[in-house]
Amino acid sequence: MPWNLETDPDYARAMLAMLRASATTDNPADLTRIVEEFAMDWIGDRAFLRFHDATDSTLWSAVDDEYGVEACRGLAGAALLGLELITTANCGREPAYEASVDDPRGAGDERIAAIALAAATVTPASPDRSAHAVLIVIREAAREPFDARAGGRIVALAHRLSPLLDQLALAAVLNASATLELGAEDDDPTFLYRAEALEAYRGSHSQGPVLRLASPWLGAVYRAVVGLVIVSLAYLCLVDVGEYSGGPALIRLGGRTQITALTDASVVEVMVSPNDRVEAGQQLIRLHDVDDASESERLEQEFELQLRNLLRDPGDAAAQRAVTTLRAERERTAWRLREHLIRAPTAGVVRDIRARPGQALAAGEVLLTIASEESNPHVLALLPGDDRPRIEVGMTLVFEIDGYRDADRALRIEHVYEDVVGPAEALRVLGPEVAGDMVITGPVVLVRAALSSEKFESKDTQFRYHDGMRGRAEIEVRSTSVLEALIPSLEEL
CATH number of the domain residue 357 falls in: 2.40.50.100
Query: Do residues 9 and 133 both lie within one domain?
Result: yes
Give the other-Cβ count within 10 Å of 176's Cβ: 10
Among 200-204, 265-269, 364-368, where is mean pLDDT lowest? 200-204
113 pLDDT band (50/70/90 cuts)? very high
Look at residue 488 and tell me if it is in a domain.
no
Query: Do residues 128 and 104 both lie within one domain?
Result: yes
Domain end: 127, 152, 174, which one? 174
Among 24-28, 49-53, 283-287, 295-299, where is mean pLDDT lowest? 295-299
Query: Do residues 460 and 336 both lie within one domain?
Result: no
16 pLDDT band (50/70/90 cuts)? very high
Look at residue 216 and tell me if it is in a domain.
no
Helix (H) or strand (E) run with residue 426 in it: helix 423-430
Query: Do residues 249 and 398 both lie within one domain?
Result: yes
Count the domains in the chain.
4
Across the chain, mean pLDDT equals 81
Query: Do residues 322 and 366 both lie within one domain?
Result: yes
Query: Do residues 27 and 170 both lie within one domain?
Result: yes
* pLDDT at position 183: 47
Query: Do residues 163 and 67 both lie within one domain?
Result: yes
Look at residue 285 and tell me if it is in a domain.
yes
267 pLDDT band (50/70/90 cuts)? confident
140 pLDDT band (50/70/90 cuts)? very high
242 residue type, one letter: G
413 pLDDT band (50/70/90 cuts)? very high
Strand partners, 269: 286
Query: Do residues 249 and 261 both lie within one domain?
Result: no
Query: Do residues 198 and 286 both lie within one domain?
Result: no
- pLDDT exceeds 70 at position 199: no
Determine contact, residues 372/348, Cβ cutoff 8 Å.
yes
CB-count burial class (<10 Å; 0-12, 13-18, 19+) for 221: exposed
CA distance 136 to 32: 12
CB-count burial class (<10 Å; 0-12, 13-18, 19+) for 18: buried
Domain end: 314, 343, 370, which one? 370
Query: Do residues 200 and 308 both lie within one domain?
Result: no
Q: What is the 3-state secondary structure (H, E, C) of 203-254?
A: HCCCCCCCCCCCCCHHHHHHHHHHHHHHHHHHHHHHCEEEEEEEEEEEEEEC
CA distance 473 to 249: 6
- The CATH number of the domain holding residue 72 is 3.30.450.40
Determine contact, residues 339/263, Cβ cutoff 8 Å.
yes
* CA proximity to 165, closest of 134, 137, 132: 132
Look at residue 46 and tell me if it is in a domain.
yes
Look at residue 238 and tell me if it is in a domain.
no
CA distance 439 to 217: 60
pLDDT single digits (tens) 326-354? 777 777 766 666 666 788 888 888 877 88
Look at residue 128 and tell me if it is in a domain.
yes
Look at residue 407 and tell me if it is in a domain.
yes
Task: Give the range of the structural domain holding residue 400, as residue numbers without chain letter.
Answer: 244-253+375-479
CA distance 370 to 352: 8
Question: CA 242, 248, 251, 254 torsion: positive or negative?
Answer: negative
Query: Do residues 274 and 196 both lie within one domain?
Result: no
* pLDDT at position 298: 73
- The CATH number of the domain holding residue 392 is 2.40.30.170
Helix (H) or strand (E) run with residue 302 in it: helix 290-312
Domain end: 370, 394, 410, which one? 370
Q: Helix, strand, or coil here: 441?
A: coil
Determine contact, residues 87/151, Cβ cutoff 8 Å.
yes
Look at residue 223 and tell me if it is in a domain.
no
Query: Do residues 201 and 144 both lie within one domain?
Result: no
